[in-house]
Copies of this chain bind each other. A is one copy, B any other.
Amino acid sequence: MPQLNVTGPNSSAEANLAARLALSATTTGGEVMSDVEFFDWLDDRRRRHSQEVRRTTFAELSGWHFAQDSGDLEHHSGRFFAVRGLRVSTDFGPVQEWRQPIIQQPEIGVLGMAVREMGGVLHCLVQAKSEPGNVNGVQLSPTVQATKSNYTRVHGGSAVPYLDCFRGPRARGHRVLADVLQSEQGSWFYCKRNRNMIVEVGPEVEAGEDFCWLTLRQMHMLLRYENLVSMDARTVLSCLPDWHHPSGPGADLLPDVAVRSWITAQQSEREVDAALMPLSKVEGDGWRLAEDRISHERGLFFSIVPVDVVSNRREVASWSQPLLQPHGTGVVAMVVRRIDGVPHCLVHARVEAGYLDVVELGPTVQCTPENYEHLPAGSRPRFLDLVSEARPEQVLFDTVLSEEGGRFLHAQIRYLIVAADDEGPTDVPRDYQWVSLRQLGELLKYSHYLNVQARTLVAALRTVPGIAGPDAGDALGGAAANGGEPRADHR
């Protein structure tokens, strides 16, 4: 009867957890593996993981076919995912009606990070994992990253290690630190969501081959390296309880209810009608099917490309699959400033056709500049100039990171955090709002409030020296801008 495990008030337990997370984020010396040892280990993993990815044609794509009635690209098992058509109409924006290919993956996957106290310091169990779409083979993934097809072994692979930590964790005596469904790219996925879980485990859980224990300080340091911490690891990290502000509302610009009210207003005002349609009907609306790709006639947006993969490290040694290859490098930036001493982010109520509920909060800027070049000047993404013209001392984070390499081919985004000048833009359009970092952490406890790009930037914000401390002398403080720890040289 686990239901009767009465616990005391949450608040002291929460404060205690916050202190433990803060220690893991700051301490040096208590790591299971030193920074130097980690990079040696990573090099070793990279040498041992050989993976070959080869472009192929749809005709030769083993296990996949275009369905006869719809033209949708599907796996013969009916599982994994499918590439279908989407028809969208909206009542705003420069383009109000379009069709596009989109990935549908109805299964909910588990992205699970195990954490364990070792030598008095919390460590995360990360995995060196290669994905066919990664620019560099191996990246750092969460402990578990599995779709239902993986763990029910539709593909006949081996068991997913550590999955048991995330199935009925409370019954196993593990403590759940976060567990929430979150969306993924709404322009590329139709209603995709994954279960983001963080579970504290005991000494019975040890690091197997390809796994290692890292403190939060180490995770934050590595997040500043190009294409190293995977999208899945970043979204899970963002769902960690906000250890900077464990004690409730502070002096935020808006009360929590007003932030929620603004989100609700944005959701209510935007009308988006998005419905799946046969992929064959998307053709002719700017999209072309060739033998080795589905792509847009103007070379914009993305292509769907078939690949063959041979790996010595995955559950299955070789397979074929389509990948979505975005064109151009995205720019995703959060503009931040202190308001009355409290760090706030300028978030955007963003509509993407694949979101479950029309609007999610995105970063200040999220775009692929090339996709706007054919549109009139007024359609240029707002605040992009502010970001691209920022002086070096305003740039608190600037790293190229990869999106999910299991679905996307070489999808790289330049993630930036930019401190607003002086007072920053205050008279912002209705679909933008200053929301405190604490409030973003609150929203992250619930599903479908922050989009996946904003989640990466919430994780990245925690790497900015002193962002959450008192308002003097940190990177956002102006006087001491770019002070604190030296920035990792990640180029």
Residues in chain A within 8 A of chain B (CB atoms): 1, 3-11, 13, 106-108, 110, 148, 168-170, 176-181, 193, 195, 197, 241, 248-258, 260-261, 264-265, 267-268, 271, 273, 275-276, 339-340, 356-357, 426-428, 433-434, 445-449
Q: Which residues of B contact A253 (CB under 8 A)?
A: 3-7
Distance to closest chain B CB from A375 (angstroms):
27
B248 near A11 with CB under 8 A, answer yes
Given contacts A3-B434, A107-B271, A251-B6, contact A260 B356 (CB under 8 A): no
In the complex, the chain B residue whose C-beta lies closest to that of A199 is B261
Contact among B10, B257, B449 for A177, CB-based, below 8 A: B257
Contact among B7, B108, B339 for A268, CB-based, below 8 A: B108
B249 near A179 with CB under 8 A, answer no
B176 near A258 with CB under 8 A, answer yes
A433 near B3 with CB under 8 A, answer yes
Given contacts A195-B264, A257-B179, contact A106 B273 (CB under 8 A): yes
B179 near A426 with CB under 8 A, answer no
Distance to closest chain B CB from A450 (angstroms):
13
Distance to closest chain B CB from A301 (angstroms):
25
Q: Which residues of B contact A148 (CB under 8 A)?
A: 271
Distance to closest chain B CB from A215 (angstroms):
22
Q: Which residues of B contact A258 (CB under 8 A)?
A: 170, 176
Contact among B4, B181, B195, B426 for A4, CB-based, below 8 A: B426
Distance to closest chain B CB from A380 (angstroms):
23
Q: Which residues of B contact A357 (CB under 8 A)?
A: 181, 193, 356, 447-448
Distance to closest chain B CB from A285 (angstroms):
20
Given contacts A176-B261, A248-B248, A253-B6, contact A268 B11 (CB under 8 A): no
Distance to closest chain B CB from A1 (angstroms):
5
Interchain CA distance A193-B249 in the complex, whole Å: 29
In the complex, the chain B residue whose C-beta lies closest to that of A17 is B257
Interchain CA distance A169-B260 in the complex, whole Å: 13
Q: Which residues of B contact A449 (CB under 8 A)?
A: 446
Given contacts A6-B251, A255-B7, contact A264 B356 (CB under 8 A): no
Interchain CA distance A449-B427 in the complex, whole Å: 34
Best-surrounded residue of A8, A11, A426, A447 (most CB of chain B within 10 A): A447
In the complex, the chain B residue whose C-beta lies closest to that of A180 is B264
B445 near A1 with CB under 8 A, answer no
Given contacts A11-B249, A445-B260, contact A339 B6 (CB under 8 A): yes
Q: Which residues of B contact A110 (CB under 8 A)?
A: 268
In the complex, the chain B residue whose C-beta lies closest to that of A272 is B106
Given contacts A178-B257, A267-B181, A357-B448, contact A249 B426 (CB under 8 A): no
B10 near A249 with CB under 8 A, answer yes
Q: Which residues of B contact A356 (CB under 8 A)?
A: 356-357
Known: A4-B426, A13-B255, A178-B257. 4 other contacts (CB 8 A): A9-B250, A170-B261, A248-B248, A275-B276
Interchain CA distance A276-B340 in the complex, whole Å: 50
Q: Which residues of B contact A339 (CB under 8 A)?
A: 4, 6
Interchain CA distance A193-B255 in the complex, whole Å: 24
A3 near B255 with CB under 8 A, answer no
